[in-house]
Chain A
């Protein structure tokens, strides 16, 4: 714990030095970060909007990592989830609540299947799961690009002589996730509720069910798991599918959240897939721990966009994030053991 604190302090120090080096002022940068993320009700609302998909993705990553399967293709799974969600939301004529549910369900199932394909490739051809989930992200990007560039698929309708962009139409308002109650200025979007519920469910699933026990066993000692009757391919496949499902749900939530344009766009994930993976990494694959970590990352997201105003390049927010990740991971590196080996 103290070591983590020391490493984090070091990371912040390095960040400050970098800000000074790029001609900014660390104090101003800090203020901007706070102003953009937690200073007022609007900023907090935005932070919470970012936290929801981050937490969903991280909760999924916890499942696959617990099984010892490293799914790093969340970015693609988010996209596939958004694609399926958009297709459902645009094509189905359902009443509001049902449409919302169907959009979420479509995103979740499609991405779950997408992730499961990697397990299938592993089973049939022995393709490494880390590699295939990563590569499937690029495939997903192509699929989405194709869908939004093809008029008879999902590309936006041509109105008069306006140029059409590679994106879908806006989802109808009744498909969008609303906020839960209205407090002056503060919006509590339903997406966050879904995400917290997902994180809690994953925690329960992993610690209280037979399946979760097997997942944990498989992740920690595959030989012992096989020996005590765990069907390795089934458990691996289901763990991957669940992690994809949650990433896909994140895609649907993102698509229908006030954060986005509510259209499917190739860059619409905002890179949250990668961030969600980092959240799980810092949370040591513990879904409940992922809740505060996702909030921290959301703060960096929403505050990061305010950095530019202080003359600090906004990518510095990414660098700070990366340094923080290193600070959290560093104390877990068995330095002593490395020195011996």
Chain B
């Protein structure tokens, strides 16, 4: 008898069928991988389970009994817990406050902290209970979400792309934790991820959705990455980095010429000490390092959200006044920040508005016809799937929201393009397309800075790899000499 059985779950949004008669069986003691391209209906299916959406048809069985959760609180009572694709923490509050949020009865800080401490020991999820969530990196926030969820002791734990912001080592640790949770504590885990290598390594069985339907199920041992990719996007995916594999042949660097298009000198800000880096037109420079070593801060500075204590940023040889809003954008810098929801999108505004918000024109009146046309073109070019361009951005699937940001930033034809974790949340097909596009951009003379925690991506794309550790640039390698071992040493060396 399955811990969780879904039969014929169907959900429609207007004309879009997000879930189409989905059957799913999750056994006690297994990690079940749920795959599918962007917008396939994975998150929707899980939100139905959790009582965040109502289903149009179908039954849900928990340990063989039909159940319906009307709200996440009822889902908790049914033993179903979920960590969402996008963070749902309250930023101004501390970690412990977030973890106990929703508890009833007396609040005792010391007990909450002790409990968090104990859990982080048991599951290997180090976090400071007294820290404010606003000050945490994405990886740390992810841990808080996990602790918050595990503390409610769910029998079925749903993780929606939990590792998209974790490093490989952190993910490996997480999966070790999940194994333990599954084997010795007898829970069931549903894991949604676009990282296929991770799926094949961590799961016992997999189910693939496409356009809301189950198109493939298998024991993980009986399938492989290439087949899963094919089942997901319906074509062969050749790009190793998109599949999460280390490229077989070393990357041959493009010839970078001319003066640096982006030059950062002595950049010092909270979490960063004296960062120097240059990116030339026509090259892809990788900035690789474990999460929480200053990448987010570099992103914040280049987004214009944080004014550095010292240092300069030059675009095309001209220093940029970082205190002027939008100065970097005007200077020709496009950026896809790591935490898209914070600075890159306005979720409550329409898809069209989000696609065009940096390109409103110079006149008092908006040229709505032009903006619409532009939005339609971009959505088509980048494969943004939306019920309508007037729908709020928040109604898009996670991967489609990411496509919106990419479309906007890449289409501005920037001189310098900075991308932090650009394939986060993209399905393998879209990741392959993006990698192709980045190579083409660089080939056409754009300077690309790729900030990534994914070694495969860095090795597959970058002509030159800078390693960041503890807020400093710890070393630099050329593509020809960069190997996983070498990069690993630099990452570790900088931290020590």
Q: Contact between A227 and B344 (Cβ–Cβ < 8 Å)?
A: yes
Beyond A223-B343, A224-B343, A224-B345, is A210–B358 a contact (Cβ under 8 Å)?
no
Distance in Å: Cβ of A294 to nearest Cβ of chain B? 25
Give per-residue flags for A203-237: 1 if the beta carbon is below 8 A from chain B beta carbons, else 0.
Answer: 00000111101001100110111111111100000
Beyond A221-B346, A223-B343, is A210–B304 a contact (Cβ under 8 Å)?
no
Binding stretch for chain B, among A44-52, A96-104, A246-254, A333-341: A333-341
Beyond the given pairs A208-B366, A227-B329, A230-B325, 10 more chain A to chain B contacts, judged by CB atoms under 8 angstroms and listed by A's residue number, are: A217-B353, A220-B346, A221-B343, A227-B343, A228-B326, A228-B329, A229-B330, A230-B326, A336-B71, A340-B71
Q: Contact between B365 and A209 (Cβ–Cβ < 8 Å)?
A: yes
- The docked-state distance in angstroms from the alpha carbon of A269 to that of B349 is 37
- The docked-state distance in angstroms from the alpha carbon of A229 to that of B73 is 41
A335's closest neighbor in chain B, by CB?
B71
Q: Does B107 contact A (CB under 8 A)?
A: no
B362's closest neighbor in chain A, by CB?
A210
A218's closest neighbor in chain B, by CB?
B346
Other-chain residue from A228, A336, A340 in contact with B102 (beta carbon distance below 8 A): A340
Give per-residue flags for B117-129: 1 if the beta carbon is below 8 A from chain A beta carbons, else 0.
Answer: 0000000000000
Q: List 17 A-B contacts (CB under 8 A).
A: A209-B364, A210-B363, A210-B365, A213-B353, A221-B345, A223-B342, A223-B343, A224-B357, A226-B304, A228-B326, A229-B326, A230-B325, A230-B326, A336-B71, A339-B71, A340-B72, A340-B102
Q: Does B303 contact A (CB under 8 A)?
A: yes
Q: Does B106 contact A (CB under 8 A)?
A: no
Contacts of B344 in A (CB 8 A): 224, 227
Beyond A210-B360, A210-B365, A229-B358, is A339–B73 a contact (Cβ under 8 Å)?
yes
Other-chain residue from A217, A223, A339 in contact with B305 (beta carbon distance below 8 A): A223
- The docked-state distance in angstroms from the alpha carbon of A227 to that of B327 is 9
Q: Does B2 contact A (CB under 8 A)?
A: no
- The docked-state distance in angstroms from the alpha carbon of A223 to that of B91 is 14
Question: Which residues of A does B touch, CB under 8 Å?
Answer: 208-211, 213, 216-217, 220-221, 223-232, 336, 339-341
- The docked-state distance in angstroms from the alpha carbon of A224 to that of B401 is 14
Contacts of B71 in A (CB 8 A): 336, 339-340
- The docked-state distance in angstroms from the alpha carbon of A217 to that of B71 is 31
Q: Contact between A220 and B325 (Cβ–Cβ < 8 Å)?
A: no
- The docked-state distance in angstroms from the alpha carbon of A17 to that of B73 is 35
Distance in Å: Cβ of B112 to nearest Cβ of chain A? 16
Distance in Å: Cβ of B154 to nearest Cβ of chain A? 14
Contacts of A228 in B (CB 8 A): 326, 329, 357-358
Q: Does B139 contact A (CB under 8 A)?
A: no
- The docked-state distance in angstroms from the alpha carbon of A340 to that of B360 is 39
Contacts of B357 in A (CB 8 A): 213, 217, 224, 228
Beyond A210-B360, A224-B344, A336-B71, is A217–B366 a contact (Cβ under 8 Å)?
no
Distance in Å: Cβ of B459 to nearest Cβ of chain A? 30
Contacts of B304 in A (CB 8 A): 226-227
Distance in Å: Cβ of B235 to nearest Cβ of chain A? 34
Contacts of A227 in B (CB 8 A): 303-305, 325-326, 329, 337, 343-344
Distance in Å: Cβ of B48 to nearest Cβ of chain A? 14
Distance in Å: Cβ of A230 to nearest Cβ of chain B? 6
A234's closest neighbor in chain B, by CB?
B325
Distance in Å: Cβ of A247 to nearest Cβ of chain B? 24
- The docked-state distance in angstroms from the alpha carbon of A8 to that of B300 is 46
Beyond A221-B347, A223-B342, is A232–B366 a contact (Cβ under 8 Å)?
no
Name the residue in B326, B337, B363 with the highest tally of chain A Cβ atoms < 10 Å from its Cβ.
B326
B61-90 residues with Cβ-Cβ distance < 8 A to A are 71-73
Beyond A226-B304, A228-B357, A228-B358, is A208–B365 a contact (Cβ under 8 Å)?
yes
Q: Contact between B366 and A210 (Cβ–Cβ < 8 Å)?
A: yes
B277-333 residues with Cβ-Cβ distance < 8 A to A are 303-305, 325-327, 329-330
Contacts of B342 in A (CB 8 A): 223-224
Contacts of B349 in A (CB 8 A): 216-217, 220
- The docked-state distance in angstroms from the alpha carbon of A232 to that of B343 is 14
B348-375 residues with Cβ-Cβ distance < 8 A to A are 348-349, 353, 357-358, 360-361, 363-366, 368
B393-409 residues with Cβ-Cβ distance < 8 A to A are none
Contacts of B365 in A (CB 8 A): 208-210
3 A-B pairs closest in CB distance: A229-B326, A340-B72, A223-B343
- The docked-state distance in angstroms from the alpha carbon of A4 to that of B21 is 34
